[in-house]
Structure 1
Amino acid sequence: MDALRSLVAGLLLCTGAGWSQTQPTVDPSDPLAVVRAFLNAWRVEDWATMQGLSHSDSAREFNTLIQNGRSSPAYSQLTSGPLWQGLQSWDGTLEPARFAENADGSAAIVRFAERHEAGQSAVLALALGLENGGWRVWGPHTLSLEEYSSYPLWQPTAQPVATAAVSVDQSDPVAVARAVLESIRSGDVDTLHALCVRELPDTVRTRRPDDAANFEPPTRSQIAEYMRECQSHPSVATWNGELMPPRYTDHFGIPVARIGYGQGTASWGEEVVYNVAVDLINGRWCWEDVHTGGTSLAEWSGFATSMASDASGLGDEPAVIDRTSARAVARAALVAYRDRDLAGLVAVANATNRALLGEIERQGSSHPRYASIFGGARWAAVQGWDGQLTVVHRRQSGGRQEALVPFHWHESPGPADVVVLTLEDGAWGFEDVATIPRDELSALPAE
């Protein structure tokens, strides 16, 4: 079983110049038919057909690799070595598929050749996964004859049936949150996969092309692992089925609903709300995260109780920010910084930074400070911010009052990354993003 779960890790992907004009008609319920079509395409370097027959966990990789053509390392891996040699000697016959269930639903292996070396025999096979009711290829794999023989023969009557499209009202964030929690408790990976954030809003793709290019939806394997982590958390295990009315915020400019499912005390002693976060993506609420660590009551109370009337899948920061609230200014600064929104940073900056940031906004990446601001450890910390802000610490420094708002904690006993604000004429202004020792921060007054 463990070997089957690791098949994807050994996956060899391919690319090249071969493009088929038409995709073959293949019965996806028959693993042998899928394997036969895949092997025939592989033998003639028909990468497009192979991509069409591949599992979503691996199919998307073709898009990147195809751009590199025959110069891609994956191309040489697929057209040389024992697997390629075994493919060239394949006589067109296939053994019955062997089958086993795993955490992601199901897996099958089909042997197409054998390799003999130093008195040892190895099986050359394709690994498949069941996806949306049909078999899809994960990739080629080599395994020992003993391991291969340990898996039972696949029988059509024993084939697991993938969960049909979920019937959850995705116009209702509470309904989605309930389905997420129930699926985690019951181990329903298919429903979690169907409800997760699998795309970016169209407007984000246009406005943030770098994010769109790097975005990858979670695989079933990743969801299964995350599900197991959530299952072990007491807040999920003891959930009584009740949900709180949603609170609203945003993440990367996308409207987010937070639905509380319980309250408790965090490891640092603060009262928190355990909650599910769902994002509004192109008109549908999609599961983003389960905050088993909790959100502080102070921050929870700062979330809106209703969604802005113009929110449709891409939110904007409110035009007016309460400059008397250090937490509100810190949040606005982090959102602007994270989005490379220099105009947004200028709007909440203190007098010291306002002129400099305005200059960088006008000159863009040609400004000598641009690379240092949008790079390095500070930039990485901001990009990793999970949207939560807990406490606000105060201190006097150089005759002025400062607020330090932690947004990222390094592994204990490491430091914290904080937003530094200064108070000017009763209004908080953005000064910097800094790192401060944990004990030094804890010694400061907090609110």
Structure 2
Amino acid sequence: MSENIFITEETLEGDEEGPLADKTVAVKDNISTEGVRTTCGSKMLAEYVPPYDATVVSRLKDAGATIVGKTNMDEFGMGTTTETSFFGSTDNPVAPGHVPGGSSGGSAAAVAAGEADLALGSDTGGSIRCPAAFCGVVGIKPTYGLVSRYGLVAYGNSLEQIGPFGSSVEDAASLLDVIAGPDDRDATTRESPNTDGAAASSYAAAADGDVDGLTIGVPTELLEGADEGVVETFWDAIDDLEEEGATYEEVSLPSVEHAVEAYYVIAMSEASSNLARFDGVRYGHAAGEKGENDNWNEAFSKARKEGFGDEVKRRILLGTYALSAGYHDKYYKKAQDARAWVKQDFDEALSNADVLASPTMPVPPFELGESLEDPLTMYLADANTVPVNLANLPAISVPAGETDGLPVGIQLVGPAFGEREIIRAGSALE
């Protein structure tokens, strides 16, 4: 078994019947499971056991799935390699000695290693698509609002979505069929408007590989600076789609050069606000011995100093700074303006193309330990995935081949609630 895929291995049986009755599912450890430890990969929540199930977990059980455990992840979803986990890093089952991607690295590794048929992850800036690409599996980041976030421990509320992993596009889409749909407990959810006139039109049924007449837009900016082998593998995949009857044209997304900066300001600001609740009193790790003269502030800071890892502390500090008086307009407001620009660019590009395509990650999987020395390199590796979250659009990562024996993924992006288009296009590559 590949190293460190699960934080907690525990079997939760679903109903006897249902569309997933013969399937095993691994669940990322930031999704609440009643009675089963949910740590978010952090010392801060190492002993936390939720008293309720997330909506997606209830839907898995109702669909007959067997949950086989909670998967390893970057602490609170903050990372691209699953190396910031308090529980140690996960090895990549298809490229040993390399990272599985992050932050949902354990979930992608579980599917790649055959430890589970399917898995759930969450994607704030690429955290499903990155590990899908690095582990050679399929990962779908749904449109914001398609899947309930009730019971997901929040990192960046306006950006993140729960989504599925599978070893094929159809498998991942069948899991999306189960978890998608409105939820009274999450006001951001809504019914997908694109049901082709039939409410029962499933996502899995869209995996028919029919791309005849499909127009693919290739944003030139998302190929710049990418590894040569990755770019070659990407163009081979586009050639394959052309052979199946699709056409491609180059499009431009000028705003994406500012997307990474905008994303990190917004995500870190939301994180600093969300993680304020972990103070060692109501939730989270309680600090060691309380000194006789400690005031509450000292007790809080002790709990947070001991409970959070370096990457989480870095993002809380940067987020708090960006939201502080005097800097809010300079950073946070500017980032929101850039976000609006990114959305506009995507809308324009998708008015001329059915889907957009790029390499999922501009580089093949890093070696274990390689990216920890330089956080900036890690942040820039998200250049192709974060713009999609800023625009709240759906995207899928499908295996496209290899470079130097390492997996490469192709990312397909669709219009809002255009999951069926990207599933159809992705299935043509299998």
TM-score by length of 1: 0.23
Bigger strand fraction: 1
Q: Which has the higher contact order (CA 8 A, sep 6+)?
A: 2
Computing the radius of gyration over CA atoms, which structure comes out larger, 1 or 2?
A: 1
